[in-house]
Each structure stands twice: as C-alpha cells, then as structure tokens.
A = this chain, B = another copy of it.
Amino acid sequence: MSGFNDRFLRACRREPVDVTPVWLMRQAGRYQPEYRRLREKHPMLELCTNPELAAEVTLLPLRRFELDAAILFSDLTIPFLAMGISFALKENVGPVVAQPLRTEQDINTLRVMEPEHDLPFVAESIRILRRELNVPLIGFAGAPFTLAAYLVEGGASRDYSRVRAMIYCEPRLWMRLMEILAENITRYLRMQIEAGAQAVQLFDSWVGAVNPAVYRRYILPVMQGIITALRTFGAPIIYFGTGTASLLEAMQETGADVIGVDWRVLLDEAWLRLGYRCAIQGNLDPAVLLSSADTVRAEVQDVLRRAGGRPGHIFNLGHGVLPETPIENVQVLIDTVHAR
C-alpha cells in the first residue's frame, strides 16, 4: 500500500496538486459487472443498510480504477428511514414515497433523527472504509430542496411543479418542511464526519427546477444554516446540483467549499461566474462515456482545458455514471485526467 493520496482534499482547499483529482458520481454502479452481480443477490436498501456490504460496494470501483476519492455507497433516501417516512426504491424510477407530504399534519409527523441510534450502519460502514482506504472518503446527503421534492411530489418528476406550487401557495409550510429536513441532514452529515468522512457532498439534484429569486428566499437560508453548522468540523463541503445554470452565484452564497456543476454549463464560464472564490467539481457529460475512446479523450481534455490548470478543480461527471457505460471508457477517462 502506497501512502495516503490527498489530491482530492488539496483540490477542495484550492491547494496545488500534481495532477487533477478525479472521482465519479455513481462510480459504484450498474456499469460494473461486479456491482450487477451483488445487486442480483441483494436489494438496493440492503446494500445501503448492511455496513459490510455498503463498504464492499464502496470499494468496488477503487479496486479497478485509480480514483482519488471514495464515496460512501448509500442512497439519498436513507435519512427517510430515520424520519418515519415510508418509501420504496423502484428500479429505473427512483424513490416512491407512500404518502406524499401535502399538509401541515403530514409535515408534523416527521421525526428528527438521532443518527448514531437510528442509522448505526452508516457510521459502521464509514469506520470499515477508513481502515481500508488510502484515498479520502466522501460522505453525502440529499439537500433539503431535493429531499422535499421527493417527499412533496411523491417521487421523481420532470419539473417538480407540485413542489413549486407548495412554495408559492404555502411558503410558511414549505419553510417548516425545509427546516426539519435541514436539522436532520445537519445531524446526519455531522455523524458521518465524526465517524470518519473526510469531505461531504450535498446533492441538490433537482434544485434547478427553481429560479434564483425563489432559491434565495426559500432555499438559500436553510443551506447556509447547514453549511455553517458543518463548517466547524473541518471537512470540505461540496454542493452539487443539476440544471443550475441560473443558480450558480446563489449556490456559492451557501458558503460551500466546492460547487459541483452538471454538463449543461461550460466549466470555464461557470468558474469565472463564481469568481474563482471556491473550488469547482465537474463536469463531463456522462453521455460522452457511451461514445468512442477518442471522443472520451477529446472531451475530457476539453474539460481540463476549461479548468485551465487552476488549483481547485476536481474532475467528475456532470451527473452519475450511466448504467450502459463501457468499463473501458471509465479507464480512458481516468488515464486522461491523470496524464496531465
């Protein structure tokens, strides 16, 4: 075993690195045959809640590729288990919430978690992983808007119009829901950091459904609260969303150390808009990995060129690895990033 690889953490702090660090959202996923074999034997929720299995799945991509960070294998819905929310994870659909939240009574049923007690397997997975890994381990949680989107809509949606309607119709109810989620997520991520996660990512996957005015009024204050509370623990905080081309400046006001961007923006333009005052993570289009090795190389180089060798770039996809992705193209991606 070679020494600890801290490229990823250095880039989070915008310190110089030898080569650009790279990890991939859903780096443990269906594109890997060994993952598919495990999924045949175990339902998704079992992989997330059994600490040995979660650690094993987390390590799968690290065994194959020279990735610069591991991310705890889990799911955005895991905190729901501790909040009294009944849901199912449907293949190719995502979470389906049994009783979508619509009224004040619905929201008042939500519990505030005691993560060590309610979700002990998460800390246990993290402790196992820290013994095994020689790269940093990233913990994560869904951000309040994205979790609220699932809870109000009842599942994934094309444009979350029901969620937007709740914001306009019942802003106080919305803020109450956001605050309960924020309290849960803060506790959950704090527990992950205390158990050994060396960075955390807040996935606000669907926040691109709102405009900057709504974001600043109904989302930003809650995000600032979470990030301020976590900041004292010293682990870098990555804040990622998709479809956020109009929200980048507002997202930066959360105080996150790293802003994660999807493929819909050009990395150079996004980082310029952020004034280089934070690190940036992204943003190869995951669909590029379905094409030829030459195209993968060219498009990876284009992202690196746009990052301009400036300290503070973490290479990633613009969203998760697609299940149809050929393994060989992931290798080409990583080799191309590290060749610089």
Contacts and interface: CB of A to CB of B under 8 A. Distances in A.
A295 B168 CA distance: 7
Interface string A267-310: 00100000000000000011110111001000100100000000
Interface in A132-175: 156, 158-159, 161-162, 164-165, 167-169
B243 A208 contact: yes
A319 B159 contact: yes
Interface in A227-269: 242-243, 245-246, 263-266, 269
A285 B322 contact: no
A109 interface: no
A263 B165 contact: no
A210 B290 CA distance: 15
Contacts of A243: 208, 243, 245, 264
Q: List the number of copies, as a whole number.
A: 2
B287 A212 contact: no
Nearest to A285: B164
Contacts of A161: 286-287, 290, 322
A211 B264 contact: yes
B266 A213 contact: yes
A209 B263 CA distance: 9
Given A169-B290, A169-B292, A169-B295, A266 B212 contact: yes
B245 A291 contact: no
Nearest to A210: B264
A322 B159 CA distance: 12
A287 B319 contact: no
Nearest to A161: B287
A210 B287 CA distance: 11
A286 B209 CA distance: 12
Contacts of A263: 211
A209 B264 contact: yes
Contacts of A246: 245, 264-266, 269
Given A156-B158, A169-B292, A287 B164 contact: yes
A33 to B, nearest CB: 20
A265 B208 CA distance: 10
A290 B165 contact: yes
Interface in A87-146: none
B168 A291 contact: yes
Contacts of A169: 290-292, 295
Interface of A: 156, 158-159, 161-162, 164-165, 167-169, 208-214, 242-243, 245-246, 263-266, 269, 285-288, 290-292, 295, 299, 302, 319, 322
Given A165-B290, A168-B295, 4 more contacts: A159-B319, A162-B287, A169-B290, A212-B266
Sorted nearest first, the 10 A-B pairs with minimum C-beta distance are: A245-B245, A164-B287, A245-B246, A168-B291, A165-B290, A169-B291, A165-B287, A246-B265, A161-B287, A211-B264
